[in-house]
Structure 1
Amino acid sequence: MRSGEKRQDPLRIAIIEPEAAGGLAHFSFQLAGGLTECGAKVDLLAAKGHELADEPRDFEMHEVLRLWNKFETVPKGGAARRLRSIVRPIRRLRRGIRYYFEWLILTRRIIALKPDVVFFPTVRFPSVYWFARMMKRRGIRLTQVCHEFQNREKTGASLLSRWMRQRIYETFDPIFFLAESAKSEFEERFGCREATRLIPHGPQMLFKATDADARDVERYFGLERGARLVLFFGVLRPSKGVSDLVDAWPLVDAEPKPVLLVAGHPAKTFDLSGLERQIEERADGSRIVLRHEYIPNSLVGPLLSRAEVVVFPYRTAAASGALSAAQSLGRPVVVTSVGGLAECVGDGETGLVVPAGSAEELARAITRLLDDPESAERMGRQGQLIAVKERSWKMVARRVLDALEA
């Protein structure tokens, strides 16, 4: 197709999503819907047991990847956790072999579909570079929504790993980012400036809530009826600053005293035992509840809506699907001034922004919203308006298609 010439047939797009649950799976599902609404023909190639498989949709969904559950139940006892860490190398080897063969089958499936464009998932393992090359050689254009391009939980990588990661990013054209700061950081590290594009994070439209659901939330999490609730929600990672929030909690000065609920599945790099000890040390009236598990979709909307304030005390970040979900449901938020978080929250307009790592500033912001519920609700409503109206999935998809058709 010549430059400036409008294509007549719909763009055929394949989206690879190896995760069966969680924020990335939700993002890919809703992006596929937006692209379809804008006229593209979309195939979503997903993991077996995808939690949205029964949701209504206008695109094709193929559950083809037989991988593993990212949100496995975490053992409660210390001995069970130690045993799990001992067998982890064997499990990683088995999973690595399975990952290779699943990607080989997937690549052949994609080549048979003959799409115009393939959306690659987040690059967890640089070895997928070889499969990207196979697709590229068949004339398939590759692109990606880059949620993350670095491991924020550990440093260091082999020369081969860095080389493959560089090469795979060079195969994407264009490559989309959800925050200007992430885009700039990527360009600084990998170059590829001519290929980078900026799009907003679409709203989380899968979660709904009604007033009748509030009691279900209280029963599930063991909360007192009508208790004031401040919430941290999302995967527990070292980079998300949960310990900073626990340190800040005794400094929150609001009446009636609220409860802090930390709810989310711990990543393998997260020190869950350390957090449990930290909470025990703060147990003298500070009212902290920890639920280290994957929260069912049916409870996410009611949980977020039940919270008076949702807090994102991250130490580093590119973007946040949990923040998008909170804003989409009109919740007042406190975020730290890192990465894309501050780009999505207007300080004093759609939430409050504080420096990362400051327990005092975090506590002060939480207290401010709790003490002024009218202003807090106004900020929440304004954030919801921007998330739903100005960052709609149709608008996100239109920007993506404009870049692909340019």
Structure 2
Amino acid sequence: MRAAIVEPVGGHGGMDYYDFGLCEALSKAGIEATLYTCDETSWRSRAFGVEIPYRGVFGAAPAWLRGLRHLRGTVRALVGARLKGARISHFHFFHVGPLELFGVLLARSLGMRVVVTAHDVQPFVERLSVPWMAARAYRMAARVIAQGRTAEKELGALLDVPASRIDVVPHGSYLPFVGEAPARGAARARLGLPEEARVLLFFGQIKAVKGLDLLIRAMPRVLREHPDTVLLVAGKAWKDDLRRYRAQIEALGIAESCVLHTRYIPDEDVAAYYAAADVVVLPYRRIYQSGVLLMAMSHGRPVVASDLPGMTEVVSDGVTGYLFAAGNAQALAARLAGVLGEDGELRRTAQRALRYVEEHHDWERIGAMTAACYRSALKG
């Protein structure tokens, strides 16, 4: 069976880990997969094909031009895949607008069966999605993959996707990409962090829904109880204004305890950030599933996360991580202040989390589940 994995973001936004994990796993499940992605993605694999039809779709070019390039990329991807005999087109949606709907319509017109992974059922920036387009795109999909029960419920409630067409397939771990972790001291020296500090890491794209402002508001209490704490923010802003976070830090008088690496973190530097961290904090206001959560657990780092349904499907409080009341900066501060004084328990929690992702987020299992989804799509 041949399948086209159409995922334009790739290395532009950290989706390359997910794409490569999925395609590698599909190849082990007997699927001849080809990834169609953007020109910011680099790869080293012989197990699956990679093609780069989405050139120049990100960057400083005018939006209309990038849109045209995106349409051109979709045509090249799907027509090329169909000529190679692909019968499955597998899209990955964070929102649905004209470009995404066009892809589904074109795949259907070429006689391909459409599979959609709903990374975000509803977008976290509302203007990115057009409700009627989202509803139509999902209606035309032969199968829809939800990465957890929270997304499964919302697909039915918000987009009217029948339960009979939804497959729950978890997000894969980052274990295949972790490698040998650098020593903590070396990682901190590389990142310019104090050797003896307690480091809280906020990692990944900075979006309003990810609650960085809550973490900053929690810092004064954390610093009163643990004065050697450093907040390390690593990632670039996405449709968010960094100035408001800088102003908040200055207003609270905690600038000396905050290190802001507000840029894209290349793959070769990721391990250093996790090795340098004592705790990874995910104070999200909304989420369906979190790649950063699984990345932290895969790197053996303990997590403190909001008690949202998308988090609690993975994090068991006090077992595989720590939870706090979502949206409550005081609750976050109290939880952080408490766990930072428990070094031994933090290590044990991280070890339990690592075992959890090994068992429940294994890519080979996910590849087999996705291949079964493809077979169902072809029968439908």
Say whether the fold is shared (TM-score over 0.5).
yes
Amino acid at match of 2:98: P
Match of 2:82 among 100, 111, 128: 111
**Pairing 1:291-310 to 2, within 5 Å after superposition:** 291-310=261-280
Q: Whole-Å Cα distance in 1 between the matches of residues 79 and 255 of structure 2?
A: 58
**Pairing 1:2-401 to 2, within 5 Å after superposition:** 11-21=1-11, 22-51=13-42, 53=43, 55-69=44-58, 91-122=62-93, 123-154=95-126, 161-193=130-162, 194-204=164-174, 205-212=176-183, 214-220=185-191, 222-252=192-222, 253-255=224-226, 257-267=228-238, 269-284=239-254, 287-401=257-371
Q: Secondary structure at the match of 1:182?
A: helix
Amino acid at match of 2:111: G
Q: Secondary structure at the match of 1:224?
A: coil
Alignment root-mean-square deviation, CA: 2.1
Amino acid at match of 2:123: N
The CA deviation at 1:256 is: 5.7
From the superposition, tell whether residues 107 and 156 of structure 1 become closer, same or farther in structure 2 (CA, over 3 Å): closer
Amino acid at match of 1:320: S
- Structure 1 residue ranges without an equivalent (≥5): 1-10, 73-87
From the superposition, tell whether residues 156 and 68 of structure 1 become closer, same or farther in structure 2 (CA, over 3 Å): closer
Amino acid at match of 2:57: W
Q: Whole-Å Cα distance in 2 between the matches of residues 106 and 308 of structure 1?
A: 43
Amino acid at match of 1:376: L
Q: Whole-Å Cα distance in 1 between the matches of residues 237 and 100 of structure 2?
A: 26
Q: Whole-Å Cα distance in 2 between the matches of residues 352 and 118 of structure 1?
A: 38
- Structure 2 residue ranges without an equivalent (≥5): none
Q: Secondary structure at the match of 1:323?
A: helix
From the superposition, tell whether residues 57 and 330 of structure 1 become closer, same or farther in structure 2 (CA, over 3 Å): farther
From the superposition, tell whether residues 289 and 361 of structure 1 become closer, same or farther in structure 2 (CA, over 3 Å): same
Q: TM-score, normalised by structure 2?
A: 0.91
Q: Whole-Å Cα distance in 2 between the matches of residues 229 and 209 of structure 1?
A: 20
Q: TM-score, normalised by structure 1?
A: 0.86
CA deviation digits over 1:165-205, x for unaligned, max 9? Answer: 21111122211111211221121011112211111111013
Amino acid at match of 1:30: G
From the superposition, tell whether residues 231 and 131 of structure 1 become closer, same or farther in structure 2 (CA, over 3 Å): closer
Q: Whole-Å Cα distance in 2 between the matches of residues 366 and 138 of structure 1?
A: 53
Amino acid at match of 2:342: D
Retained in 2: the 8 A contact 1:43–1:62? yes
Q: Secondary structure at the match of 2:263?
A: coil
